[in-house]
Amino acid sequence: MITGRRVVCAPQRGYGAASHAGLLAAVASVVAVMDADASLNPQQLDRVVAPHHRRYGRSRRRQPSPSQCRSLPMALRLANRELARRVGRRTGIMIADLGPLRAAPRESLLALQVKDRRSGYPAETLVRASDAGWRIAEVGVDGLSA
C-alpha cells in the first residue's frame, strides 16, 4: 500500500529539480516519481514499487490512453523511444521508454549523485544505475482512460 504522499516545492525550475527535491524531502525507504500530467493511474504505483527489491523499478506504458495521446505529442513520444534506444545501447539494458513512473530505494538513488536538474534526469538516473550494477525491471502500467 502506498502511503505518506506530500507535495514539495522545488526552488529551481526543471523536471529533474522537482524530482530531486522530492527525493531529498522523502523519508520513506523506497520512493516513487510519477509524471504529473494526469496520464497515469496513481493506484498502479504498487506495480512499480514492488520490484524495488531488484533495485530500480520503472514503468512502461502498456498502451497510450487518450489522455496520454493529448499530453505527449507524437514527436515527443518518438524522441522518448529514441532516447530509450540510446540509453539501452550505452548501458545494455533494453527499455521501451524512459518511464513516466519510477521507484527505487531512496538511499541508493541519492548515492547515484544524479546531476541533471532538467529533462535529462530520468536518462542520467538509468545510466548511473546501470553503471552501479543495478538490475532494472520494467513493468507495465495502464494510463487513465479519458
Q: What is the pLDDT along the chain (146 residues), one digit of tens a residue?
A: 556 677 889 999 999 999 999 999 999 898 988 887 777 888 888 888 877 644 454 555 444 444 444 556 888 888 888 999 999 999 998 888 887 888 999 999 999 999 999 999 999 999 999 999 998 888 888 776 54
Residue 81 is assigned to a structural domain of this protein: yes
Number of domains forming the structure of the chain: 1
Spatial contact of 142 and 65, defined as CB atoms under 8 Å apart: yes
pLDDT at res. 3: 62
Residue 51 CA to residue 108 CA, distance in Å, equals 14
Length of the chain: 146
Residue 137 within a domain: yes
Q: HSE of 18 in the Cβ direction (CA atoms, 13 Å)?
A: 12
Question: 10 lies in a domain?
Answer: no
Q: What is the reported pLDDT for 24?
A: 96
Structural domain that includes position 114:
15-20+30-141
What is the pLDDT, as a whole number, of residue 20? Answer: 95
